[in-house]
Amino acid sequence: MISSKYIYVILVALLLTSCGPKKTEFNGEELDFIDTYQVGDTLVFKSEHDEYNTMTIVHKQVYYPEYIPIEVHGKYLPQTADIRYSQPSRGFDSLKFMTMRKRNPKESSLYFGFNGGMELFFTNSEIGLGLDEILIGDTFVFEMNEQKEGRVQTIYWHKDKGIAKYIMVDGTVWNRIN
């Protein structure tokens, strides 16, 4: 007969191993967004006013943050992807270019924070990206609802090349030329 001491030890062990968070994982569509860029890639954009904007990808990481129960993460540990860029000509060493976070199995967030802090935020409520976008051929068109001067209004994201074009709130169009 098994003693109650052994049953108690087994129950405590089961309780401790089942208390941790469930890890989320990016699906194939989400990974396609992340895998578009690699460290060392250089993106060159040209405006309709013959100005150039060059960005070099300097950091790419897919990771899980340190688990902080209840107050931050709750039931799920979000998988996170972070891509950063530099613009030496403008004095920027490492700026947030794109961050994707899988908060729970049905919600992912995608942030674009390029050009010195201009940021767009998209969230889905379905499995997969399900972003508020229009798909034209192989290009997603993301629209920013809030219009603030000096920010990006529209991003054209090609499935293979990433950002192909963006339009500022003032109407300036920047096309990727490489």
Neighbours of 40 (CB within 10 A): 9
pLDDT at 124 over 50: no
Query: What average pLDDT does this structure show over 14-33?
Result: 74
pLDDT of residue 116: 43
Domain count, the chain: 1
Q: Specify the amino acid at residue 43.
A: L
Q: Is 18 among the domain residues?
A: no
Which has the higher per-residue pLDDT, 129 or 92? 92
Q: Is 134 among the domain residues?
A: yes
CA distance 135 to 132: 10
pLDDT of residue 9: 59
CA triple 121-153-96, angle to 5 deg: 45
pLDDT of residue 20: 64
**Least-confidence region, from 7-11, 21-25, 105-109, 156-160:** 7-11
Q: Is 171 among the domain residues?
A: yes
Q: Is 9 among the domain residues?
A: no
pLDDT of residue 8: 66
Helices (H), ranges, the chain: 4-18, 28-34, 114-117
Q: Is 3 among the domain residues?
A: no
Query: What average pLDDT does this structure show over 109-134?
Result: 53
Domain that holds residue 76: 24-176
Model pLDDT for residues 63-117, shown as the tens digit of each residue? 988 877 666 667 888 899 999 998 877 777 888 888 888 888 877 777 787 754 4
Confidence of residue 128 (pLDDT cuts 50, 70, 90): very low
pLDDT of residue 127: 31
Mean pLDDT of the chain: 78
Q: Is 13 among the domain residues?
A: no
pTM summary value: 0.75
Q: Is 166 among the domain residues?
A: yes
Q: Is 100 among the domain residues?
A: yes
Q: CB of 49 within 8 A of CB of 42?
A: no
Of 21-30, 68-77, 160-169, the range with the highest mean pLDDT is 160-169
Neighbours of 99 (CB within 10 A): 18
